Amino acid sequence: MNQLTTFTSTPQGAAAYLKTLPAIRERCSRVHDLAKQGKLEYFDYAPDKEDQVAEFCVNIIKRDFGSNYQSIPPHGRWRHFDIDKPRIDELLTNWSDSISDLEVCKRLIDLFLVSVLLDAGAGSIWSYHEEDGGVYSRSEGLAIASLAMFKQGIFSSDSTQPYKVDAEGLSKLSVERIAAAMQVNESNPMAGIDGRATLISNLSKALRTNTTFFGPDGRPGNIIDYLRSQSLSSEFSELNARIDVSSLWTVLIEGLAPIWPQSRVEVGGISLGDVWLCNALKNQANLDDDNVTSLVPFHKLSQWLAYSLIEPLERILHWKIDGLDFLTGLPEYRNGGLLVDFDVLTLRPGSINISFYPPSSQIPRLSPAHPAIVEWRAMTVIELDRVANLIRKKLNAPDLSLPQILESATWKGGREIAKVKRPATGGPPIDIISDGTVF
């Protein structure tokens, strides 16, 4: 995958570029450059505070892992299923004598993909009650709820095979059925439940349409067959493959393109998904009418999917994935909240109209399209790289990967500092109106 630094001359070329992994860092870096010059619209940037963030994260790593940094798992959906007990390992044990490793991996990809797409922020009120009495909220609650749905066969069209996700099974799901399975009601509301249901409906269509990636039965796990065809290994075997991350990215960004809301940014008639207009960039240049040079891509859920799907490919099939450094830190409210709570980023006084503050609240509530959120997310991508480098230096652990740092430090750190700063809710310092498709 070649890293491009400029847009091509056509709208279609610009759209293609904005859907690449290198575009995320390149465009976010442009926003970060403005921050260093004090030219953002909504945030002041204090790079001298980054060391405090890194020190906070280092202490969390030492607390949880001592000096055994190699034991730190990567950031991925697997962790959320196993928050307090090994739920995925229990599945693997139940399957071990009856199916091949290839089918095991396909089932995990089925589960992880649909679970990630149900993972956008649920809000601070919703929780899920597991059958054994456990109560879980936020990402872990959403993961455990989706696992229960998977085990019940809710995503499968085959009554004899519940452990499967396919287009036909998803097509039968309604908002009401998803809400019931996730225990959503008036006293247990979930933010963005309609958006989640729309994603699932659109996923069914995408799986059915893109047979090159998902096979004739429209199954997420069939991406393994496509990836095998893209293997870099000279002598391919089921348990010995090297693929480039760009092959997986093609599946996620092209194969799943139909799932994203069509109301978002389009360039050259191509819907771009998690790509947004950044006013700070727009104000710094003379732009054409299409404003493509002021757009910033994040592709957060697609990257979250990539991190989550890579793990079973590596753990179950022992595949080697090249090019992982192209993936970025995830621009969501935990990682971004860590930066705001340590004053690396501070909202400029008066920059957010008072109308965006709910009654008796000092926390603004903004949509994902609000230019302040776009600035926040762009800064988060680059700051995660910078903080990760500081963490590696402080621990003398140059091989500590970004996925490991996201898992053990920044995402966890964002959650922990939020509980300190806002113990009543543990919510972020800036509230995002979730449509079920971004955060």
Beta strands in 305-427 (DSSP E): 320-322, 345-347, 365-366
350-369 per-position pLDDT tens digit: 999 999 999 989 999 999 99
In a domain, 21, yes or no: no
Shared-domain flag, residues 254 and 315: yes
Shared-domain flag, residues 70 and 83: no
Shared-domain flag, residues 339 and 287: no
- The gap from C-alpha 151 to its chain's centroid, in whole angstroms, comes to 23
pLDDT at 232: 77
Shared-domain flag, residues 115 and 57: no
80-119 per-position pLDDT tens digit: 999 999 999 999 999 977 899 999 999 999 999 999 988 8
The model's pTM is 0.91
Rounded Cα distance, 424 and 391, in Å: 30
Shared-domain flag, residues 86 and 214: yes
Shared-domain flag, residues 291 and 221: yes
Shared-domain flag, residues 321 and 341: no
Shared-domain flag, residues 245 and 342: no
121-174 per-position pLDDT tens digit: 677 789 999 988 899 998 899 999 999 999 999 999 999 999 999 999 999 999
Mean of pLDDT over the chain: 91
Judged by DSSP in three states, 200 sits in: helix
Euclidean distance between the first and the last CA atom of the chain, given in angstroms as a whole number: 27
pLDDT at 149: 96
Shared-domain flag, residues 239 and 296: yes
Count of domains forming the chain: 2
Q: Return the residue matching tokens 């959120």.
A: 373
pLDDT at 285: 62
% the chain with pLDDT above 90: 77
- CB 142, CB 115: distance < 8 Å: yes
Which among 43, 28, 31 is positioned nearest to 429, based on CA atoms?
43
SS (H, E, C) 221-274: HHHHHHHHHCCCCCCCECCECEEEHHHHHHHHHHHCHHHCCCCCCEECCEECCC
Tokens of 34: 């403005």
The lowest-confidence range among 168-177, 207-216, 289-298, 316-325 is 289-298
Shared-domain flag, residues 316 and 433: no
Shared-domain flag, residues 117 and 239: yes
| Domain of residue 111, residue span | 76-326
Shared-domain flag, residues 351 and 269: no
